Amino acid sequence: MSTSIHTIQVEPLRAAMTELMHGFGSAPREVELVTENLIQANLTGHDSHGIGMLPRYVNAFLEGGLTANAHVTTKLDTATLMALDGNAGFGQVIGHEAMALGIARAKAHGSCIVALTNSHHLCRIGAWAEMAVAEGLVSMHFVNVIARPIVAPWGGRDARFGTNPFAVGIPVAGREPVILDLATSVVAQGKTRVAHNRGEQLSPGQLLDDRGDPTTDPKFGVVEPFGALRTFGEHKGFGLALVCELLGGALTGGLTTHGAGDGKQRVLNGMLTILFDPARLGDSAVYSAEMQAFLDWVVASPPQAGNARVRVAGDPERESRARRSAHGIPVDATTWTELLAAAEKLGRNPAEVNRLAGLSATN
């Protein structure tokens, strides 16, 4: 663990991570999609889903749980209903391909449901909602996680399922879209890794230790003996996690969590995505005006002490992206050391990764 932080500008960091990605033997487009997706996660402030995931990706690849240069295959296609298999490929590629197919169908027919199974880690689900709203579409995403169980059910003492994310993207004419992107656990599992690497404690109420008792020590989310994250909103978050497992896992391809982890590093996701064109539902001028009126009304609420203003879903990420694009991305020293070790496992030169990032050999 280390509290030392490197602040790396976006372009040098992109170059360094591109160098690491070459170790997978990935095609140029795959290198680009994975690298950009991870860096965008860091830019939005979600370091849990950023470049710090690469060491785990490397281990999963070396174990055979992640397949480089894989693409989606179609299992069912009825125009507005598609079932896709991700073939354990990089989620950044598989997610992009699945969304591109669904977006094209929704624009042609007004709506599309995409059931995606067997994708490696889809990373920040909000990225797929952003992809849809950029095309003027509303999207909803129910996601499950096949890996070591890390979240306890409400009222339970041990881990029984994953962080099971849920996301919604809503385009709003004349202003930034609403992007709701959340783990159904109080925090994403990666945030325990970030806290552990930085030598920080978690807030109370987020984590149970290996005996099922409350703790603020993030080690119980990172190293054995493992504990369990808690669901947000008590029974309400648990209910949404349950829905994500059933729709994102069982419905999309029959992959759900129903046993202890096998010790492997791979992270498989299933995702049920619902896409539709809001303009097909009626008078777009009416709903656009109502959206604007509601959002204006909500953000006009006087802020509580310690808050500059009321924010809506998507605002914090946009603010972080602007700030970090200008000033650089913070990467703790422990995470950077893990990235250099991962590069070496893939046969890449850690010194070259350091050089490209603008860091000295001693960093």
Report pLDDT digits (tens) over 301-350.
999 999 999 999 999 999 999 999 999 999 999 999 999 999 999 999 99
Rounded Cα–Cα distance for residues 309 and 306 (Å): 9
Please check whether residue 208 is in contact with residue 342, taking contact to mean a CB–CB distance below 8 angstroms: no
**Partner residues linked to 113 by β-bridges:** 81, 274
Question: Could you tell me which of 258, 262, 195 has the C-alpha nearest to residue 222?
Answer: 195
| CB atoms closer than 10 angstroms to residue 158 | 16
Report pLDDT for 285: 86
Report pLDDT for 277: 97
Report pLDDT for 173: 92
Residue segments in the chain with a per-residue pLDDT below the cut of 70:
1-3, 361-363
Question: Could you tell me which of 181, 186, 180, 163 has the C-alpha nearest to residue 232?
Answer: 186
Report pLDDT for 99: 98
| Angle CA 251–253–257, to nearest 5 | 85
CA atoms within 13 A of residue 225's CA, in its CB half-sphere = 6
Report pLDDT for 189: 84
Report pLDDT for 263: 87
Rounded Cα–Cα distance for residues 239 and 243 (Å): 6
**What's the burial of 28, exposed, middle or buried (CB within 10 Å: 0-12/13-18/19+)?**
exposed
Report pLDDT for 37: 98
Report pLDDT for 284: 84
Rounded Cα–Cα distance for residues 16 and 56 (Å): 17
Report pLDDT for 362: 59
